[in-house]
């Protein structure tokens, strides 16, 4: 008949736990050192990651600015087209039923500035 096997904990495991119990101050110092190194790495890497994120944000904002400038130019061209005198005249004559003024209805305005003093022009 076969003998039943006993399940034993490996001696390495027993020695590791015993060592931790025996050297608690040393294990705390190692844990503290590892955590300080990890915190130092994190404090070093965080600004680098932040700068990369800012770079991506800057690139996105530059793209949006270029789109806005393109749209502004398109709107300026459209505005100039809509305000063109020949277009306004065409709308006035065709859509609004207006007529061209006769010579008697025209008023001429001088474009230069003039000063009038006591009924005399200078």
Look up the pTM and report it: 0.48
pLDDT at 70: 98
Helical (H) or strand (E) element with 116: strand 116-117
| For the chain, domain boundaries | 12-96
Is 90 exceeded by the pLDDT of residue 10? no
Residue 83 CB neighbours (<10 A): 9
- Report the helix count and the strand count for the chain, using DSSP H and E: 3, 2
Distance CA 66, CA 74 (A): 12
Tell me: the pLDDT tens digits for 28-86?
A: 888 899 999 999 999 999 999 999 999 999 999 999 999 999 999 999 999 999 999 99
């Amino acid at each position: 008949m076969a003998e039943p096997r006993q399940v034993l904990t490996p001696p390495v495991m027993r020695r590791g736990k015993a060592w931790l119990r025996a050297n608690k101050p040393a294990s705390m110092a190692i844990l503290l050192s590892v955590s300080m190194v990890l915190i130092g790495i994190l404090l070093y890497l965080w600004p680098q990651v932040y700068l990369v994120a800012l770079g991506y944000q800057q690139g996105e904002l530059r793209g949006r600015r270029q789109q806005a400038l393109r749209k502004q130019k398109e709107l300026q061209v459209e505005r100039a087209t809509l305000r063109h005198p020949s277009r306004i005249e065409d709308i006035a004559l065709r859509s609004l039923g207006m007529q061209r003024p006769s010579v008697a209805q025209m008023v001429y305005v001088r474009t230069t500035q003039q000063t009038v003093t006591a009924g005399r022009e200078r």
